[in-house]
């Protein structure tokens, strides 16, 4: 998989179309969540695009500290169904973590994980915090990957 990290301004029209199509395919259709994906946050995000040839196979978006949570945030993590099980989700997450560290330094990274993906994120070093909650009808848990700045 070829991975690119781009700001909103760096995205081409075709790339933007493909990432919105992938997110809609997974979060709206597959998971049957009626929500406004075009949340006006994409303009301030870094977009992580995982390509298999000309097809967008995996995606995530990153926000800086204070944009969503006090920590940097990774969200909208998606892998096209036909590419699942090949490690692309892990690869796009590792690339997203590295991109966040390059952009923002050794900071904490938070995410709102779907409960069934808790072990996936734990394997990447994230720690579950707080109680489970429901978001868009799906059980979630807050998880944090602590950077070098964490008091231990």
Domain containing residue 64: CATH number: 3.40.630.30
> For 31-40, how does the pLDDT look when each residue is reduced to its tens digit (9 = 90+)?
777 666 778 8
What is the C-alpha separation between 1 and 44, in angstroms, rounded?
Answer: 25
Domain membership of residue 47 (yes or no) is yes
Please report whether residue 12 resides in a domain: yes
pLDDT category of residue 27 using cuts at 50, 70 and 90: confident
In a domain, residue 28? The reply is yes
Per-residue pLDDT, 57: 97
pTM of the model: 0.91
- End-to-end, the C-alpha distance of the chain in Å comes to 36
Q: Domain of residue 100: give its range.
A: 2-145
Average pLDDT over every residue of 93-110: 96
Residues in the chain: 152
| Dihedral sign (CA 124, 19, 142, 85) | negative
> Is residue 152 in some structural domain?
no
Whether 87 is in a domain gets the answer: yes
The answer to whether residue 77 is domain-embedded is yes
The whole-number average pLDDT for the span 133-152 is: 82
41-66 pLDDT tens trace: 999 999 999 999 999 999 999 999 99
Number of structural domains (the chain) is 1
The reply to whether 34 falls in a domain is: yes
* Residue 66: inside a domain: yes
Is the CB of residue 107 less than 8 Å from the CB of residue 66?
no
């Amino acid at each position: 998989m070829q991975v690119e990290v781009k700001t909103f301004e760096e995205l081409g029209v075709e790339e933007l179309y493909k990432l919105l199509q992938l997110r809609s395919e997974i979060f709206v259709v597959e998971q049957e969540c009626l929500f406004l994906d075009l949340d006006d946050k994409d303009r301030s995000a870094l977009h992580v695009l995982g390509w298999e040839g000309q097809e967008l196979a995996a995606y995530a978006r990153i926000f800086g500290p204070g944009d969503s949570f006090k920590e940097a945030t990774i969200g909208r993590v998606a892998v096209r169904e036909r590419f699942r099980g090949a490690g692309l989700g892990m690869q796009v997450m590792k690339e997203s973590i590295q991109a966040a560290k390059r952009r923002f330094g050794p900071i904490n990274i938070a995410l709102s994980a779907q409960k069934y993906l808790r072990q996936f994120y734990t394997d990447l070093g994230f720690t579950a915090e707080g109680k489970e909650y429901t978001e868009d009808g799906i059980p979630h848990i807050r998880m944090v990957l602590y950077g070098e700045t964490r008091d231990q």
